[in-house]
Chain A
Amino acid sequence: MRNTCLNEIHRLAKDNENIIFIGSDLGAGTLTNMQQELPDQFIMEGISEQHIIGMSAGLAMEGFIPYVNSIAPFLTRRCYEQVLVDLCLHDLPVRLVGNGGGVVYAPLGPTHLAVEDIAIFRVIPNMTIIAPCDAEEMKRLVEKTISWPHPIYIRLAKGGDKVISNSKHGFEIGKAILLRPQGQCMFITTGVMTQKAIEASEQLEREGVHCGVLHVHTVKPLDYDALSKLIPTVRAIVTVEEHVRAGGLGSAVLEYCSDLMPEHVSKIARIGIPDKFSDKYGSQDSLLDYWGITTGSIKNKMLDMLGNCN
């Protein structure tokens, strides 16, 4: 997914001299071909995220479209004020590409996890937050970022994720995709949790439960149209995210319902990461297993909700 994203940026930059790539001491060899081919559109800065965000704001004020790439926690937490003031207050078209969204960097410990990134960015006006589910969707997304007039945070997954998106669904920033039609219930997901939700819905199907999957690649702005249309049609909803339960996709859905469809709030349950620092290493999968974010637990949560909502 990361390679697809960066290669797409390179490809698009060939035809658009306003596109400029800025890295923060990335891994050796990253986009070397772009550096050689388009040296004025490739900048490798040091480990200085606060400066890099400000610099990208200055470039955007002059008409450039900067794509800034670093490890997600450092591109969100380390330079939070710069993102808020320099990018979002000025409402500039800077794209933040965060490697390792969620718990991709599980073996590196809590300093390298990005599990609150959606929450802290969701509260900033003008920010757009997108978590694609696979490389194919990433390709469709990057193309759309060129003309989006606001700051964007792109949350990258591990890579090699099973391709579940389909070009027939197209891709519009802010438009959720119904990957499986809603039945009596529906998962609402973002990023690579969509894969888990699809597996869970397939298991439910085998047990006679028709369950939809709404893939919300854009957490902000949230697709209110899709939510208002679909939520009333199902008996139970489980949101699934690789993010702390507070402030992420589940919270956004509940806030929307609380404000505009309060009668549906009780049918919604959230699955996410508990409110504590990770005390395990291992892998992305093992950490998610540890926290109970598995296909089985997602499926069982839905069955519980259906039982409770009878």
Chain B
Amino acid sequence: MIDKRSKELRKIVVDIIATERRGHLGPAMSSIDILRVLYDDFLNYRADDPNWNKRDRFILSKGHGCLSLYAVLADKGFFPEKDLLTFCKSESIFGGHPERSKIPGIEASTGALGHGLPIGVGMALAAKIRHENHRVVVLVGDGEINEGSVWEAALSAAKHNLSNLTLFIDYNKLQSYGLNSEILNLEPLADKWKSFGFAVEEVDGHNIEELQALVKKIPLENDSPAVVICHTVKGKGFYFAEGKTEWHHKSKITDDQLNEMYQCLC
């Protein structure tokens, strides 16, 4: 099911993890196929001019999932892939959470959860006020939307009819301690967003064709913000990590575990 390109992107993530034997593998693997489609098929950008004024703005609000974004940005030429091998080293620009001031292509420093959507609302509002056509996309985690600030921003996005704003939810059903359904139930999630004034679509967040078809439909409505609920699997692609809380963040990864990761990508 995971095609060659998605495996190649996953391999970049494993290469990064191998440098320090640590990282948020699970949340990166649940979001990597979404990011692939966003950067392959939807977002307008110039890798050699990351601050190009007409670019679409993308905010990875679940900053702990940054390994997948690092991989995609390197693949797109925002910076050399080899630079990622400095991950988490003292002088590196690539930390465990992404920073705007350091990394080309990063719109907002995230890591503390619940910050991306409010910032995205501000960016989308700015574009609307100035009659600019670029779009704003925010990717949040499902655990992240426990945060009240996400819902404050949702109310505001609908109030301002921000049809240029699309929220992707990486709905892997698993947060740090356990299942969403046990920690803080989100269901009925689609109905919640509809009631907040969003146009809502649901997709398989690992099905490339489904994601590609979906992004072609954006904006989903002409006068309201949109949310795309992406049903995903935490740790997708690595059978030993799929749906496992212990792979949310892993440190002291062994040689055997690394070899197993690479085996999964053959």
Contact = CB atoms under 8 A, between A and B. Distances in A.
Contact of A86 (B101, B107, B115, B148): B115
A22 to B, nearest CB: 9
A62 B152 contact: no
Interface string B100-116: 11000001110110110
A164 interface: no
Interface of B: 99-101, 107-109, 111-112, 114-115, 117-127, 129-130, 148-149, 152-153, 155-156
A81 B114 CA distance: 10
A244 to B, nearest CB: 26
Contacts of A56: 122
Contacts of B149: 48, 50-51, 54, 82
Contacts of B125: 43, 55, 58-59
Contacts, number: 93
B39 to A, nearest CB: 20
Given A50-B114, A55-B122, A59-B125, A90 B148 contact: no
Contact of A58 (B99, B109, B112, B123): B123
Which 7 interchain pairs have the tightest Cβ spacing? A58-B122, A54-B118, A51-B152, A62-B126, A48-B152, A55-B122, A50-B149
A43 B160 CA distance: 10
B100 A54 contact: no
A301 B210 CA distance: 74
A54 B121 contact: yes
A202 B129 CA distance: 53
A90 B122 contact: no
Nearest to B59: A58
A121 interface: no
B189 to A, nearest CB: 20
Given A54-B115, A61-B108, A46 B122 contact: no
A125 B120 CA distance: 24
Nearest to B150: A51
A17 B113 CA distance: 32
Interface string A76-105: 000001100110011100000000000000
A130 B101 CA distance: 26
Given A58-B126, A64-B126, A85-B109, A46 B119 contact: no
